[in-house]
Amino acid sequence: MSTSSRISSSVRSRPRAREADEPRRDPAEARISRSNLREQIKDVILQRIVSGAYPPGSRLVETRIAQELGVSQAPVREALHNLEQLGCVVREPFRGCSVRAFSADELLEAFPVRAALEALAARLAADRITEAQLTRLAELLDEMRDAARRGDAHDQSLANASFHATIVHTAGNATLERQWSLLEPYSRTYISVSQPGLDLLALSERHVPILEALRARDADAAATAMYRHLIGAAKLLQPMTEGESE
């Protein structure tokens, strides 16, 4: 079942009215539910932006998105506001929201920050990672390779993003994960804006030292491998920034 289907079914299944003998719902509990719904909607919209279903410049109409997902406009409006704060969406007077394109310069600026955060995440994860999580990382690496052999940059990008997200989550540091999530749109759009001819298989193989260091439970090696990986990936964008400045 897709994320949008889950959102729609969860909303439609809500009771229409509270029975007289039912206990009153805690307002804090209602806020949590609304926050979770907003996050789900934000992720659906972000996935559509990254996949190209919502291309740069396309309008994001609250009423239309709400109807598609089977929700009210309020959480859609909140989700779009969050995406505006992340830099994925722009709001213009009398036009509403539209998808904003990331420039290569913006992506490049994010890499040193990502490198610092994810190096710390890899260091912390090395002491906590389970065999199941290591197996999942290996599966994601295989998915990257398979997509690269097919020349499918979109699927390669999704597996790539999941690989990094798994390590950040495994670190078990909520503050780190929260800060890293602010850079998620940049990491998820990296492949899609990279120059034609980028060697996706070579890019996939750059994850091998990270996985090997985590398997060895070597915190220093994992942090170093992650940092080098991301700084190296940033160098692949350099030709694009030079092209934009011409």
As for how many domains the chain has, the answer is 2
Whether residue 135 is found in the same domain as residue 190: yes
User: Are 112 and 211 members of one domain?
Assistant: yes
Q: Decide which of 99, 132, 149 is a domain's last residue.
A: 99
Sheet holding 96-99, edge to edge: 59-60, 96-99, 89-92
Q: How many CB atoms lie within 10 A of CB 38?
A: 20
99, 119, 148: which is the final residue of a domain?
Answer: 99
Q: How many Å apart are CA 81 and CA 198, to the nearest integer?
A: 33
Query: Which tokens hold the place of 153?
Result: 């940059």
Given a contact cutoff of 8 angstroms between Cβ atoms, the answer to whether 46 and 184 are in contact is yes
CATH number at residue 50: 1.10.10.10
Residue 110: give the domain boundaries. 104-245
**Do 152 and 230 share a domain, yes or no?**
yes
**Whether 69 and 171 share a structural domain:** no
The tens-digit pLDDT sequence of the chain (246 residues) is 555 554 655 444 444 444 444 445 444 444 435 668 888 898 888 878 866 788 888 999 999 999 999 999 999 999 999 888 878 899 988 888 999 877 777 778 888 999 999 999 999 999 999 999 999 999 999 999 999 999 887 788 888 888 999 999 999 999 999 899 888 777 665 555 455 567 889 989 999 999 999 999 999 999 999 999 999 888 876 665 555 544
On whether residue 216 sits in a domain, the answer given is yes
What is the SS3 string spanning 181-203?
HCCHHHHHHHHHHCCCCCCHHHH
Q: How far apart are CA 229 and CA 22, in angstroms?
A: 55
Say whether both 110 and 94 belong to one domain.
no
Do 153 and 70 share a structural domain? no
Within 10 A of 18 (CB to CB), how many other CB atoms are there?
10
Q: Domain boundary at 44, 73, 99, which?
A: 99
- What CATH number is given to the structural domain containing 117? 1.20.120.530
Same structural domain for residues 54 and 108? Answer: no
- The packing angle between helices 219-245 and 184-193, to 10°, is 60
Residue 4 covered by a domain: no
Q: Are residues 114 and 65 in the same domain?
A: no
Same-domain pairing of 93 and 109: no
Considering the domain architecture, whether residues 126 and 155 belong to the same structural domain is answered as yes
- Evaluate whether residue 20 is within a structural domain: no
The tens digit of pLDDT for each residue in 213-227 reads: 999 999 999 999 999
Asked if residue 137 belongs to a domain, the reply is yes
* Same-domain check for residues 143 and 161: yes
Q: Does residue 195 share a domain with residue 172? A: yes
Q: What is the pLDDT of residues 163-174, one digit of tens each?
A: 999 999 999 999
* Residues near 103 by beta carbon (within 8 Å), at least 6 away in sequence: 244
CA neighbours closer than 13 Å in the CB half-sphere of residue 153: 15
Report yes or no on 81 lying in a domain.
Answer: yes
Q: Cα–chain-centroid distance for residue 115?
A: 16
Using CA atoms, how far apart are residues 121 and 180, in angstroms rounded to an integer? 10
Residue 57 located in a structural domain: yes
The closest alpha carbon to 75, from 127, 32, 133, 123, belongs to 32
Give the predicted TM-score (pTM) of the model.
0.69
